[in-house]
Amino acid sequence: MGRVTSEQVRDWLRRYADAIAEHRVELVRLDTAIGDGDHGTNMDRGMRKAIEKLDGSAPGDIGADLKAVGMALVSSVGGAAGPLYGTLFLQMGSAAAGKDELDLDGWAAAVEAGVKGLQARGKAEAGDKTMVDALLPALEALRQGGELGEALRRSADAAEAGMKATIELEARKGRASYLGPRSVGHQDPGATSSYLLLRTAADALA
Amino acid sequence: MKKLINAPDAVVREALEGMEAAHGDLIRVSYDPAYVVRADAPVQGKVGIVSGGGSGHEPMHGGFVGRGMLDAACPGEVFTSPTPDQMLAATKAVDGGAGVLHIVKNYTGDVMNFDMAADLAQGEDVQVEAVVTNDDVAVEDSLYTAGRRGVGITVIAEKICGAAAEEGKSLAEVAEICRRVNGQGRSMGMALTPCITPASGEPSFELGDDEVEIGIGIHGEPGRFREPLAPAAHVVERLSTAIVEDLPYQSGDQVLAFVNGMGGTPLVELYIVYRELDRFLQARGITIARNLVGDYITSLEMAGCSITLLKLDDELTRLWDAPVHTPALRWGA
């Protein structure tokens, strides 16, 4: 059935930081089109801070690692992404507190806690053209169960489809909402960074 | 991109160091976490006033820290909301036992970060009230947007609330005055050119040489529509009509008129805007009882302006006239 270990979670977080750095310019470009053009820069700064924090502590507690990442993001990203990604990781961390490994159910429960916390903070629903449009389908895919690696890949694929579907949506939250119909035709930068989160999870944890 | 900087990622910190060097008699600066605080903070028994937001809008907010205005300001990265740890530290630094008012511009990031900070402050037994400003009539206020943006009225609210706090009013009273200022104020802006953030190096939007964007936001967010460049009188009529019809302002009203430069428009043009605004309001029987003209809530080097009107009453006029001594706004002191 497979399990997610604390070492794998750290590998995932490092891969995510690398993916954000690699896609920094693309995220800035997407955000310039419908937001304020800082998403890639801010997430890159935040994830580098998060990895620095992890490097200074001993591995073993998945919940503690996720909380450390959440606090680093809250205090270094700013914008809307800081509280949103920060809350996502903090809530995931609470759900995985004290665990050195998780099965698929445990992993899905942590992701669900994170997504719920993020929705409570940002008040976005499916279809608002936000991170939620990548995260909710991914969570649903995880909840279908099965073999861990397969579920993680299905979840990343669902996030990718959700991200691409934001192109046709009209934004109803955040700065993109000021554009109204002019936001249609652009992929949401938050959904894009959320997709990278799920894709790197499939790469590292499967 | 040509900018007078040393390094893009050092812009905010180095500007703070410059401010501290220039105005050490009025302010102190904390760098980690970053906030600007009144030199004599905390003032015992006085409500503390804290604001904050992305950098790039100078002199807002750091330039408004001092007696009679803000007790502290939290600068974020350029056009990026500051973070809850900055806001919490600033809030604690200015709490003189009478509670702290957060004045928050209505942007998704600012509101969420200040929310988290207020939660954290309450957890440390500091009484916090937050008022969100949302005066930008360019944005349709509906369930389907993030709501109206907080723009020019924020400067006026910070001045008036600062004076109310200096008078010894309670946190609830200062918050009520802040809501009244926001409720009686309306703004709209326009841009002739985009701006370039130091980190991206790219213009925030594309605008033709012969076009203007009416209803622009202070981060280069688009507004209501684009139209061909026209004389100042036409532009002022566009902005002012939207503003006076929204509240609505009526014949006989006394207003504070604030003509604000976006950073790249010379004062000589702002006075032409003021001339047109004065004529426009006179024709409607609205009297400008107080005014402010200059660059106070900017958008880096964007060329353009915004107009803010506040319907005055005796109390708001008195509080506006009260002494203020900050790096960017000073009278009576």
Q: Which pLDDT tens digit goes with each residue over B13-22? A: 999 999 999 9
Chain A residues within 8 A of B88 when measuring between CB atoms = none
Whether CATH 3.30.70.1560 fits A4-205: no
**What are the residue ranges of CATH 3.40.50.10440 in chain B?**
8-184+320-331
The model's pTM: 0.85
What are A116-143's pLDDT values in tens digits?
A: 999 998 989 999 999 999 999 999 999 9
Kindly report the number of other CB atoms within 10 A of residue A199's CB atom.
Answer: 23
Cα B226 from Cα A179, distance rounded (Å): 13
| Stretch 280-319 of chain B: residues touching chain A, C-beta under 8 Å | none
CB nearest to B145's CB, from A37, A83, A177: A177
Chain A residues within 8 A of B144 when measuring between CB atoms = 170, 172, 177, 180
Give B68's pLDDT tier (boundaries 50, 70, 90): very high
C-alpha distance from B253 to closest chain A C-alpha (Å): 31
What are B12-52's pLDDT values in tens digits?
A: 999 999 999 999 999 999 999 999 999 999 999 999 999 99
Q: Would you call B220 and A78 a contact, using CB atoms and an 8 Å cutoff?
A: no
Give B142's pLDDT tier (boundaries 50, 70, 90): low
Q: Note the pLDDT of residue A180.
A: 84
Chain A residues within 8 A of B113 when measuring between CB atoms = 78, 82-83
Nearest residue on chain A to B147, alpha-carbon basis: A178
Query: Two tokens at B259?
Result: 């003509």
Cα B166 from Cα A155, distance rounded (Å): 56
CB nearest to B199's CB, from A38, A81, A182: A38
Residues 6+ apart with CB under 8 A from B283: none
| Stretch 72-131 of chain A: residues touching chain B, C-beta under 8 Å | 74-84, 121-122
CB nearest to A78's CB, from B80, B144, B219: B80
Cα B293 from Cα B306, distance rounded (Å): 10
Cα A152 from Cα A103, distance rounded (Å): 12
- B220 to chain A, any CB pair closer than 8 A? The answer is yes
- B215 to chain A, any CB pair closer than 8 A? The answer is no
Mean pLDDT value across chain A: 94
CB nearest to A178's CB, from B77, B139, B202: B139
What are B98-119's pLDDT values in tens digits?
A: 999 999 999 988 999 999 899 8
| B66 pLDDT more than 90 | yes
Q: State the complex-level ipTM.
A: 0.71
**What are the residue ranges of CATH 3.30.1180.20 in chain B?**
185-313
Residues 6+ apart with CB under 8 A from B274: B257, B259, B291, B293
| Percent over 90 (pLDDT), chain A | 83
User: What's the fold here for domain B8-184+320-331?
Assistant: Rossmann fold (3.40.50)
Within a 13 Å sphere around the CA of B250, how many CA atoms are in the beta-carbon half?
Answer: 1
Cα A50 from Cα A53, distance rounded (Å): 5
Q: So which residues of B are the catalytic ones?
A: 57, 219
- B261 to chain A, any CB pair closer than 8 A? The answer is no
Residues 6+ apart with CB under 8 A from B181: B153, B156, B157, B160, B161, B310, B316
Query: Two tokens at B289?
Result: 């009882």
User: Where do the domains of chain A lie?
Assistant: 4-205
Class of domain B185-313 (CATH, top level): alpha beta
| Crossing angle of helices A6-22 and A39-55, rounded to 10° | 150
Buried b (16+ CB within 10 A) or exposed e, B278-297: bebbeeeebebebebbebbb
User: Counting beta carbons within 10 angstroms of the beta carbon of residue A53, is it exposed (0 to 12), middle (13 to 18) or buried (19 or more)?
Assistant: middle
Residue A71 and residue A98 in contact, taking contact as beta carbons nearer than 8 Å: no
Helix H or strand E segment including A11: helix A6-22
What are B219-271's pLDDT values in tens digits?
A: 887 778 899 999 999 999 999 999 999 998 999 999 999 999 999 999 999 99
